[in-house]
Amino acid sequence: MSVWLITYNHEKYIRQAIEGVLMQQTNFAVQLVIGEDCSTDGTRAVVQEYKALYPDRITLYLPERNMGMIPILRPTYALCTGKYVAMLDGDDYWTDPLKLQKQIDLMEADSDCRVSFHAVQIYDQSKQEYIAPADPWWSRVTTALHLHDLIYLGNPIFTLSAIFRRPAGELPTYYYESPFPDLAMYYWVLAEGGTANFLPEIMGIYRVHTSGCFSSLTWLQKRRQSLAFFEKMRGHLPMRYYEQIEAERQIVLRDLFIASCRRKDVVWSLRYMRLIDWASIYVPAPYNKPQRLLALGLKKWALAKARKSGMPPNN
């Protein structure tokens, strides 16, 4: 199997990430592919040091200039040769030496399992404290998620915990256009069937810090990226997922509309207002009175327009 590790400016953390891979005890070969994206700190020197120590186990991709988080994925994924691929960022690390063996045993025993993932502990770098998240509520119902479940839950899979069964062929073009490449990968792998199976054991650490690609984003930035993600994915998944993807997109649009109204941002409020399907939208409690009246008024207008045109309302 292959471990697909991307790193940039992780000099403080990269040793832990690499050591967590090297300590794995398995009955199969493990290839570690590291994409070091021309860091401005000493990250490159560290990965080169490990390459010199473990030349047969580590494959490096070292571009001459910074490519960016998404572009570097294509050449590094091409270097992964395993039947299975584990994902890891340079600021996270694994803590269980049997992590890979446990997940591969699960996937080998169940041919329907296309993705496996596990519980993680969160480390807040600024507070220097560990947080063990509670078992997700859905795990009391099932530990095998289909793509419909994944769309509903958002993204319950921490990247450092994921292993996927590598599909044949190249990654689809839309994967490199997605703001959430890890989530796009799960969608791609599960689109034609199969499950993502959850192991409740904590086997890794997810680090939250101000330089993190995702953890450093504001709520508004994350929601805008969610909108871009759903708009990209709805055109590339089988039609049986379209209605659900569109429903999630509408929820994000509603959230962004509320946020824009609260910020008194007229331009963005109008942009989101035009994209919302007001005829079918649910108007929830988070709206304050003026926002709620506006939303209800737009909903009434949209329903009247639908009736006038002879089209049945969606609600």
Strands, E, within 98-233: which ranges? 113-124, 129-131, 144-145, 163-165, 195-208
Residue 137: closest CA among 156, 121, 113: 156
Q: If you ran DSSP here, which 8-state letter would residue 168 be given?
A: S
Alpha helices in 118-172 (DSSP H): 147-153
Average pLDDT, the chain: 87
Beta-strand relationship, 163-165 and 84-89: antiparallel
Question: What's the pLDDT score for residue 91?
Answer: 94
Total residue length of the chain: 315
Q: What is the pLDDT of residue 80?
A: 95
Q: What is the pLDDT of residue 283?
A: 53
What are residue 195's DSSP bridge partners? Answer: 113
87 backbone dihedrals φ, ψ, rounded to 5°: -105, 145
Instruction: Find the Cα–Cα–Cα–Cα dihedral 12, 185, 30, 142, rounded to 10°.
Output: 100
Residue type present at position 142: T
Closest CA to 120 of 179, 162, 182, 166: 162
**Strand extents, DSSP E, 159-250:** 163-165, 195-208
- For the chain, residues with pLDDT lower than 50 are 287, 313, 315
Give the other-Cβ count within 10 Å of 73's Cβ.
Answer: 19
- The single residue listed with the structure tokens 């984003």 is 217
Structure tokens at 244: 């659900």
Answer whether 248's CB lies under 8 Å from 223's CB.
no
Helix (H) / strand (E) element for 7: namely strand 2-7
Distance CA 236, CA 50 (A): 39
CA dihedral 95, 97, 98, 104 (to 10 degrees): 80
Burial 121-145 (b: 16+ CB within 10 A, else e): eebebeeeeeeeeeeeeeeeeeeeb
pLDDT of residue 315: 47
